[in-house]
Amino acid sequence: MLEIYERLGTHCHEAVDEVVTLKHEQRDKGRLRLVSESGVEVRVFLERGKPLSVGEYLKTECGKIVQVQGDVEAIAHASCEDWRTFSRACYHLGNRHVKLQVGDRWLRIKPDYVLEEMLHLLGLVVSHEEAVFEPESGAYKVSGSHDTGHHDNNHGHGHHDH
Q: Is the pLDDT at 49 greater than 90, yes or no?
A: no
pLDDT band of residue 138 (cuts 50, 70, 90) is low
Would 137 be classed as within a structural domain?
no
Per-residue model confidence as pLDDT tens digits over 53-67:
999 999 999 999 999
pTM: 0.78
Which residue, 50, 70, 90, sits at the end of a domain?
A: 70
Residues 6+ apart with CB under 8 A from 10: 53, 55, 56, 57
Which residue, 70, 97, 123, sits at the end of a domain?
A: 70
Q: Provide the CATH number for the domain around residue 20.
A: 2.60.260.20
Residue 89: give the domain boundaries.
Answer: 72-132
